[in-house]
Each structure stands twice: as C-alpha cells, then as structure tokens.
Amino acid sequence: DTAVSQTPKYLVTQMGNDKSIKCEQNLGHDTMYWYKQDSKKFLKIMFSYNNKELIINETVPNRFSPKSPDKAHLNLHINSLELGDSAVYFCASSLREGLREQFFGPGTRLTVL
Amino acid sequence: AQSVAQPEDQVNVAEGNPLTVKCTYSVSGNPYLFWYVQYPNRGLQFLLKYITGDNLVKGSYGFEAEFNKSQTSFHLKKPSALVSDSALYFCAVSRAGAGSYQLTFGKGTKLSVIP
C-alpha cells in the first residue's frame, strides 16, 4: 500500500495557468509538508501543516496556496504559473512528536512552458 | 539559522570498498540529524537519524553514521558498497520552531558505486 501518494506524477502546462497537485497519506500522521526540488536537486521546504493548521510558510510567492481538507490530505494550488515554477514538488508526512522521520511521496514533476 | 554542508557533489567508490559521504552542520542548540536517500525519479527515503545517545547510529541497508559534536559532523558510512547503493544522498538537520520540526537539507551528494 502506498504510504504517501501524489497526483499527478507529471504536469505540463502553459505559463499563466492555474494548477493543483494532490497529496494523501495513509500513515495516520498529523503533520504534512510540501517541498520543492529544483533542477540542481536542491530541496527546500515550502509549507508545513499540523492537524490542518499552517505551521511553516517559508518565503514562497503567494501564488502558492496549500489547502488541507483533513489530516490525511494536503493539496498545493498554484496560480498564474511561471517558468521558474518548473521543478519537482514533493509531499511528505510525519508524526509531530518525537522528531520522527518524514515519509516522502514520489514527487510531481511540473513543467511550465 | 541552521544549515547543512555536503562538501562533495559526487563520490565514486568501487563495489566492495567502504564508502563515506560527508556532512557537517550548523545549528543553535542540540542538533537532530538525518540521512535520506533518493533513487532516480523517486521520493526521498529515510535511512537513519541521530537524536541523542550513542554517537554511532545504525540505519537501513547496512548504513551507519557517526555523530561528532566537536567537529559538527555526521558522516554516512557503509563498510562494503553495493552497486545498488548508487543514488543521491541528503543530510538534513532539524530544529524545534513554531511548534513543529523543520528539516534543512544539504545540497545532496551523488554516490556512484562502480562494479
């Protein structure tokens, strides 16, 4: 069974469009994250949610908006896509207490043309 | 602020030889350190972590890491490399802040194990 799943796996779109990436975890975790991995493989956290509440919001353009309908889901909506948004986006989850490790999804490769 | 340095972009090692992937960190207070591995076109997988206790931490797939507080290092090691160990390895440090734990990752080290 997939622990952390993301859809779609690949997303190709035009500049200016709005798109969403969905993430679901079936691990019973209470904290979920979105990361961006650029073309040089550098990984940077974008958002962190705990029990549906935003905990961390790094310096990310407000075109990016996370939405957490429940503890098991954390979706990422991106408005007015730009060329620089092209990257691989990873969702992850963990238990908040005890410094537990994070479990990552397979990633969504976003290409903006 | 916290940071992680992985000084080598790439490490090449012959199959069967020991391997080391280096990591140094900077953080205020006690560090919580992690190693993750990323295979091509996959998400990151947890290998091991150091929170407290024994400085030598054992993890998945025969990997281990040694925490050295005086050198602020957390190098990843394996006694005998396998071709299947070839992947991208990330070191990460965590701190408590805003009620949650935020991982800061290094830039990654590509490990190539040569048959």
Give per-10-residue mean pLDDT for chain B (115 aa). Answer: 92 98 91 93 92 90 95 97 97 68 88 96
Structural domains in chain B (count): 1
pLDDT of residue A51: 77
Closest C-alpha among A113, A35, A17 to residue A76: A35
3-state secondary structure of A85: helix
Nearest to B41 by CA among A102, A1, A107: A107
Query: What's the CATH number where B9 sits?
Result: 2.60.40.10
The count of structural domains within chain A is: 1
Structure tokens at B79: 């006694």
- What CATH code is carried by the domain that includes residue A55? 2.60.40.10
CB distance B22 to B8 below 8 Å: yes
- Over residues A53-79, the mean pLDDT reads 88
Q: What is the mean pLDDT of chain A?
A: 91
Amino acid at site B92: A
Beta bridge partners of A29: none
Which residues 42-101 on chain A approach chain B with CB closer than 8 angstroms?
42-45, 48, 50, 55-56, 90, 92, 94, 96, 99, 101
Structure tokens at A94: 């963990």
Host domain of residue A27: 4-112
Domain that holds residue B89: 3-114
pLDDT, position B99: 42
- Minimal Cα–Cα distance from B70 to chain A, Å? 23
Neighbouring residues of B81: CB distance < 8 A, sequence distance ≥ 6: B13, B14, B15, B16, B17, B18, B19, B111, B113
